[in-house]
């Protein structure tokens, strides 16, 4: 079975490097970015099962990054990880398409379990899109 692929996005370099190292030690394929712009570029070149995104970043915020990522990749499973979230931020993020919001520090095993669930959801969406495309093709051929 393929291992889970995750993109971590956080402006705190030491934090994101340490989290990436801990996830790799648990068998995940991890890349990271330290700002929203780099995360968007990274998502253009690779498919991720999940994105774990910091809400409060200088420059492009987590909410703005979330919007841009979902604009190009509507099925992307994005989770927010933040030390400064308000309930309003969490509601806004989920309304925009985030699948979960975690507070820093979070239990790594819980986070990894959510990433595995995100992978399953992403694969289910891909299968649905493929079946929809097959139905579309068959209908257009009159079969």
Reported as a pLDDT band with limits 50, 70 and 90, residue 71 is very high
pLDDT value of residue 143: 65
Please give the Cα distance from 68 to 50 (Å, whole number): 15
Q: What is the DSSP letter of 75?
A: T
pLDDT in tens, 75-134: 999 999 888 767 787 788 889 999 998 888 889 999 999 999 999 998 898 899 889 898
User: How many other C-beta atoms can be found within 10 angstroms of the C-beta atom of residue 142?
Assistant: 5
Q: Where are the alpha helices (DSSP H) in 26-107?
A: 36-45, 62-72, 87-96
pLDDT value of residue 91: 83
What proportion of the chain, given as a percentage, has pLDDT over 90? 66
Please give the Cα distance from 1 to 49 (Å, whole number): 14
Q: Where are the alpha helices (DSSP H) in the chain?
A: 13-25, 36-45, 62-72, 87-96, 108-141
Please give the Cα distance from 71 to 90 (Å, whole number): 19
Please give the Cα distance from 82 to 103 (Å, whole number): 5
Q: What pTM did the predictor assign?
A: 0.87
pLDDT value of residue 141: 81
CATH class of 5-141: alpha beta
Going by C-alpha positions, the residue among 9, 33, 30, 31 that lies closest to residue 82 is 9
Going by C-alpha positions, the residue among 79, 128, 86 that lies closest to residue 106 is 79
Domain ranges of the chain: 5-141
């Amino acid at each position: 079975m393929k291992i889970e692929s995750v993109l971590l996005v956080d402006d705190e370099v030491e934090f994101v490097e340490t989290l990436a190292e801990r996830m790799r030690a648990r068998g995940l394929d991890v890349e990271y970015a330290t700002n929203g712009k780099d995360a968007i570029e990274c998502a253009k070149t690779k498919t991720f099962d999940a994105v774990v995104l910091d809400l409060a970043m200088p420059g492009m915020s987590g909410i703005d990054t979330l919007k841009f990522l979902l604009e190009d990749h509507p099925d992307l499973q994005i989770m927010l990880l933040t030390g400064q979230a308000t309930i309003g931020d969490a509601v806004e993020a989920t309304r925009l398409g985030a699948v979960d919001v975690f507070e820093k520090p979070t239990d790594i095993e819980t986070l990894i379990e959510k990433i595995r669930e995100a992978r399953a959801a992403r694969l289910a969406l891909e299968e649905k899109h493929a079946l929809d495309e097959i139905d579309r093709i068959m209908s257009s051929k009159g079969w």
